[in-house]
Amino acid sequence: MSGETASLLVALSWTFTALMFERAAKIFGSLALNPLRLLMAFLYLSVFSFIAYGNPFPTGVNFSSWMWLSLSGFVGFFIGDYFLFKAFEIIGSRISMLIMSLAPVISAFIGFIVLDEILSATDILAVVIIFSGISIAVLTKKNGERIKMHHPLGGVICALIGAFSQGAGLVLAKMGMNNMNAVNVTQCRVIAGFAAFALALVVSGKLKKSVLSYRNSSGIFYASIGAFLGPFTGVSLAMYAISKTEVGVASAIMSIVPVLLIPVSFVFENKKIRMAEILGIILAVSGVIILFLM
């Protein structure tokens, strides 16, 4: 399977993952949901790793890979997903995932700063288009009124932090892969993310409350489906994709999630969609595609 095909499957997987985790986040809250779904994902990954490779855990991983992948898990899963799920709670999955389309843009700028990669005029134009699309979807203006946020500012800020962390986490994962298989790469990242969330629950004094909240059967159902489609299927495919093709190309294809969420949200969630949101989403995703494919 090519990296491009894997990236498309990631987009499909993450579309339904977003819906499942939006529902679960509203039941458990971001801090309680994240360690639960990472634990579930690790169990899925371990079973698959045992079947495919004969060992349920990553073996033979050198210190350098552990360091980069752990940092990737901390940045991408702990910081990125905590704020993304907070955004799900506040502004919903559709707008959150639209803002997350900034992640590949952030990856490009990190490459520019850290790796001295050159941004062309086309790249800069694409970034402008992406920001324009997000602005159209998030902001609104009625006759005679000032432009204002159509969605709560706190949710938008959470999604922006999530986008930055996801973009940085993807670059860090690429740096630590060293020819490892995608499942073991994901396991290393999940271990780091779970450890960080578990520590956060203990330090915050919310461990007991979070464990008790897991009695909610609906929340467990949504979390388990989301964990299977997201951290297990989606993230493993994403790691496979970036191992087979350029990070930017893979990220561009994965970024179509907001477009896929338009019909999915309408059909499965019966959510009303503003024309401005549709235009903004199409613009933003077009900008991402231009950024990496032209």
Cα(143)–Cα(9) distance, rounded to whole angstroms?
A: 42
Cβ neighbours of 144 (radius 10 Å):
5
66-78 tens-digit pLDDT: 999 999 999 999 9
Cβ proximity of 230 and 154 under 8 Å = no
Which of 34-38, 99-103, 143-147, 244-248 is least confident?
143-147
More confident residue, 279 or 212: 212
Cα(292)–Cα(294) distance, rounded to whole angstroms?
A: 6
Q: Give the mean pLDDT of the chain.
A: 80
Which of 24-38, 85-99, 110-124 holds the top average pLDDT?
24-38
Mean pLDDT of 149-156: 75
Instruction: Specify the residue for token string 């704020």.
Output: 83
CA geometry: angle 133, 135, 141, nearest 5 deg:
120
Q: What are phi and psi for residue 148, nearest 5 degrees? A: -140, 170
pTM: 0.75
The residues with which 139 forms a beta bridge, in sequence order, are: 149
pLDDT band for position 293 (cuts 50, 70, 90): low
